[in-house]
Amino acid sequence: MTSTSDLTTRTAELLTAMGADASFAAATPDGAGLVTSSPITGGTLGYLQPSADPSTVVDDAVAAFRTWSTVPAPVRGGVVRELGELLREHKDALGELVSIEAGKIVSEGRGEVQEMIDICDFGVGLSRQLYGNTIATERPGHRMMEQWHPLGVVAVITAFNFPVAVWSWNTVLALVAGDTVVWKPSEKTPLTAVAVQAIFEQAADRAGVDPKIAQLIIGERDAGEALVDDPRVALVSATGSTRMGREVAPRVAQRFGRVLLELGGNNAAIVSPTADLDLTVRGIVFSAAGTAGQRCTSLRRVIAHESIVDTLVDRLSSAYATLPIGSPLETTTLVGPLIDEAAYDGYVSALEQAARDGGKVVAGGERVAEELGGYYVQPAIVVMPGQTEIVKHETFAPIIYLMSYSDLDEAIALHNDVPQGLSSSIFTTDLREAERFLSAAGSDCGIANVNIGPSGAEIGGAFGGEKETGGGRESGSDAWKSYMRRSTNTVNYSSELPLAQGVEFL
């Protein structure tokens, strides 16, 4: 059995291997340090001292932007290339640290680092593709076009569940765009941030650029609030709860800044009577139980056709009974711990409310492996009589609510009848059903999948959702435009001065 002491020692080794300061392990609590812990045992790993005043860090970011914004974009891509190479070198070490601090199983920890590598590859190519448009003009002897320019300082505020990948989605695009970045990670996962910052600074050194183009702030909530309220921060990209988004958005809007919000998800899978149930069960189990249900894209609701719902419940219950639950550092484990006691309390509270609403737990629902010290639970399946308020609420834990439907219109209505709009899926072999689900009359989410679950996005597509999910888009496609400002240019190369719309003046 792994002890907290063992984890502290191993964490220090990993940080040292990645070139980061591991002095946290020897620190003692003095009331000023940020507690670092591991959900594997629930124990304290050590203490980190808060970073410098956020205003001072933003000062440095503003100064660095003046130079960085003038560097040609393909040259800016060089630091991203170096970052990707260093992440390849440290993939196993950083992935293990993600497992220790966030509780992800080994393959998911490494997978998160691979996602960082993938976005670096994307960013290098993007650095030569920041295209604008040439636009037809009504005036003879004129040319009209668009250019994209660096935006400014970007604040990146990340959540515990993807402690490093979300930083990379934002930072790689921002750096290629010519922006500078200030990162405020979750208080629950600061050590992975320390490691990533050390790796980035090595990349900056290799590329011969100012490391202050991407900086890190370690601190509590007030550090993030300082970035939200600082008028020099052009864009706040914040990942977290809908409650957090409701606070961030109006504060940034009040100073006319930009926001990119990635908030709550309450993701569903519609299971058609034509679905391949072997594939469906595998897709549901990963989406619902993977990361212990702590992804914003985790599956929360299953809406199954009444003709196959009983069979699906039986098959899912059987699959859940075989899930290995335990330390995420064991290679055989598929479900690791919840992040902390508050997450466990939310799990218990949701199941109690579902029972009061007439729901029946048919699999899971209990705390297990208490001897490990962390909060490990059995992923739960709850058959519900309908979509009650608890079903419409996102609980960050491995619970799926299962309901039945009689026709596709009813299923889509149920699917869309929640405040969140992140990710969605349908399992069907009927082409018409699939296309209907993907149409404007189907899923109202930012991500809609067919025959895969809602969890597990690739970096090539823009990631984000609608409604209370916040409307932001990160990662691939044209998400880079969020990190730049658009300039429409008109050039008169004639000796005349015709005015638009036929206006005559002088």
The 10 Å CB-count burial string (b at 16+, else e) for 193-214 is bbbbbbbbbbbbeebebbbbbb
- pLDDT-above-90 percentage for the chain: 95
The mean per-residue pLDDT over the stretch 37-44 comes to 97
Q: What is the pLDDT of residue 266?
A: 97
Helix/strand/coil (H/E/C) assignment for every residue in 356-407: HCCCEEEECCCEECHHHCCEEECCEEEECCCCCHHHHCCCCCCEEEEEEECC
Other C-beta atoms within 10 Å of 31: how many? 5
Q: 346 with 241: CB under 8 angstroms? A: no
The mean per-residue pLDDT over the stretch 327-338 comes to 97
Please say if the pLDDT value at position 451 is more than 80: yes
Q: Is residue 370 flagged as an active site residue? A: no
Q: 446 with 473: CB under 8 angstroms? A: yes
The mean per-residue pLDDT over the stretch 178-201 comes to 98
CA 456 – CA 435 distance, rounded (Å): 21
Degrees to nearest 5, angle at CA 264 with 258 and 266: 145
Q: 441 with 424: CB under 8 angstroms? A: no
Secondary structure class of 166 (helix, strand, coil): helix
Considering only CA atoms, which of 77, 133, 393, 366 is closest in space to residue 243? Answer: 393
Q: What is the pLDDT of residue 442?
A: 98
Other C-beta atoms within 10 Å of 361: how many? 16
Residue 145, amino acid = M
Placement of tokens 């823009």 in the chain: 462
Please say if the pLDDT value at position 265 is more than 90: yes
Assigned superfamily of 52-263+470-486: Aldehyde Dehydrogenase; Chain A, domain 1 (3.40.605.10)
Q: 129 with 157: CB under 8 angstroms? A: no
Q: What is the pLDDT of residue 120?
A: 98
Q: What is the pLDDT of residue 30?
A: 63
Segment 135-170, tens digit of pLDDT: 999 999 999 999 999 999 999 999 999 999 999 999
CA 10 – CA 384 distance, rounded (Å): 44
Residues near 118 by Cβ (< 8 Å), separated by ≥ 6? 458, 459
Segment 405-443, tens digit of pLDDT: 999 999 999 999 999 999 999 999 999 999 999 999 999
Segment 341-378, tens digit of pLDDT: 999 999 999 999 999 999 999 999 999 999 999 999 99
pLDDT band at 31 (very low <50, low <70, confident <90, very high): low
User: Of the listed 262, 394, 468, 474, which one is catalytic?
Assistant: 262
Segment 206-242, tens digit of pLDDT: 999 999 999 999 999 999 999 999 999 999 999 999 9
pLDDT band at 2 (very low <50, low <70, confident <90, very high): confident
Residues near 501 by Cβ (< 8 Å), separated by ≥ 6? none
Q: What is the pLDDT of residue 506?
A: 75
Whether pTM exceeds 0.75: yes
Q: 403 with 302: CB under 8 angstroms? A: yes
Rounded (10°) angle between helices 91-102 and 73-89:
80
Secondary structure class of 290 (helix, strand, coil): helix
Considering only CA atoms, which of 145, 34, 126 is closest in space to residue 78? Answer: 126
Residue 495, amino acid = S
Q: Which two tokens stand for residue 78?
A: 């060089």
Q: Domain boundaries in the chain?
A: 52-263+470-486, 267-458
Placement of tokens 């991407």 in the chain: 214
Which stretch of 20-29, 100-109, 360-369 has the lowest confidence by average pLDDT? Answer: 20-29
Q: What is the pLDDT of residue 23?
A: 85
| Residue length of the chain | 506
Q: What is the pLDDT of residue 456?
A: 84
Give strand pairing partners of 35: 47
Please say if the pLDDT value at position 118 is more than 80: yes
CA 389 – CA 401 distance, rounded (Å): 12
Give strand pairing partners of 150: 484
CA 79 – CA 206 distance, rounded (Å): 8
CA 351 – CA 436 distance, rounded (Å): 33
The mean per-residue pLDDT over the stretch 80-92 comes to 98
Q: 165 with 295: CB under 8 angstroms? A: no
Longest Cα–Cα distance of the chain, Å, equals: 87
CA 271 – CA 318 distance, rounded (Å): 18
pLDDT band at 28 (very low <50, low <70, confident <90, very high): low
**CA-based R_g, the chain, Å:** 24
- pLDDT-above-70 percentage for the chain: 98
Q: What is the mean pLDDT of the chain?
A: 96
CA 201 – CA 251 distance, rounded (Å): 31
Other C-beta atoms within 10 Å of 136: how many? 6
Q: Do domains 52-263+470-486 and 267-458 have the same CATH topology?
A: no
Q: Which CATH class is domain 267-458?
A: alpha beta
Question: Of 251 and 457, which is predicted with more confidence?
Answer: 251
Considering only CA atoms, which of 486, 463, 474, 423 is closest in space to residue 156? Answer: 474
Residues near 194 by Cβ (< 8 Å), separated by ≥ 6? 15, 20, 21, 24, 48, 216, 218
